[in-house]
Structures are given as C-alpha cells and as structure tokens.
Amino acid sequence: MKRTLVIFATLLALFTLSACHDDSMDANKMGTKLEKKYVEKNSYGVWEDKDNSAVQYSANNKGKIVAIEFNYKQSYKPVSNKAAFADYKGKTADDLKWVKDDLYHSKSKDKYYRISESTDSDGKITHAAIFFNH
C-alpha cells in the first residue's frame, strides 16, 4: 500500500511540474525566429525581453535571432562566470562547451558561437554578447 502511494505521489508531482513549464523558457534562442510575444522594442528600436530588459536581441531580415546581449550591469548585478554561462546555455544549447578564447561549440546544434564578455574589477561579468561564428 505504501509503495502504491509513493508511486502515485511521484507521478502527481511530475505531472504538476510538467504543467508548470513556461513556453517562454524555450523561446528566443540563437538561430530561432524571434517570438514577439516575449519581447518588445525599446525607444532605440532594440528588441528586449519583456521579463528582463537587460537581455536584448538582434534579428536578421528573416526575423531569426543572430545575436543576444546580456547587460548585467543594467540590472546593477554583475554575475559570476557560472551564472553567466547558465544564461548562455539557456540561449544556445545545453551542451555548450568552451573551445578556446571566446569560441564555444554545441555538438547537438553543430554550431560555433563567439561570446564576448566584459568584467568588472572583481572579475564578475557586467556585459556579454553571443554571436554566430561564421
């Protein structure tokens, strides 16, 4: 009886978590079409994330994202390398790996990216930009 109850509770928890998945988590990644319901143009004509204006997108004439900028200093919170890398993975691919210098690679997407970072005197990331490596 206990075992059945534990299995049922586990299944219920998994179902609840899957229902909480937000579509915006998968939206607006490098190379995908810009989903405008999650972004808005600022006064300079730059696409900004509606939930976080420190994230800005550049799209080509076909509407596909070709660059993403993270302006951590705008939110007055420079971040650690680990936190910034989690953001980069979220906007590129989960298997993103450093190759050398500012070059990164995703095996699953078979894409190379350039990530340019600016740091403060403490070594925390204040600004970063992701571009496709052509």
The answer to whether position 8 is within a domain reads no
The answer to whether position 34 is within a domain reads yes
Asked if residue 67 lies in contact with residue 57, where contact means CB atoms within 8 angstroms, the answer is yes
The per-residue pLDDT for 6 is 55
Mean pLDDT, to the nearest integer, of 87-103? 95
Residue 13 has pLDDT above 70, yes or no: no
Q: How many helices (H) and strands (E) does the chain have?
A: 2, 8
Residue 1 has pLDDT above 80, yes or no: no
The answer to whether position 96 is within a domain reads yes
The per-residue pLDDT for 52 is 82
Q: Between 2 and 34, name the one with better pLDDT.
A: 34
Mean pLDDT, to the nearest integer, of 19-34? 70
The per-residue pLDDT for 19 is 44
| C-beta neighbour count of 104 within 10 angstroms | 22
Handedness of CA 131, 79, 55, 44 (dihedral sign): negative
Q: Is 96 helix (H, G, I), strand (E, B) or coil?
A: coil
The answer to whether position 10 is within a domain reads no
**Host domain of residue 33:** 25-132
Give the helix/strand (H/E) hosting 99. strand 97-100
Tell me the pLDDT tens digit for each residue of 38-83.
999 888 888 999 888 889 999 999 999 999 999 987 666 889 999 9
Helix, strand, coil percentages for the chain (3-state, nearest 5)? 30, 35, 35
Q: What is the pTM of this model?
A: 0.76
Tell me how far CA of residue 99 lies from CA of 63, 66, 95, 111, in angstroms.
28, 20, 12, 12
User: Domain tally for the chain?
Assistant: 1
Residue 9 has pLDDT above 80, yes or no: no
The answer to whether position 4 is within a domain reads no
The answer to whether position 36 is within a domain reads yes
The answer to whether position 120 is within a domain reads yes
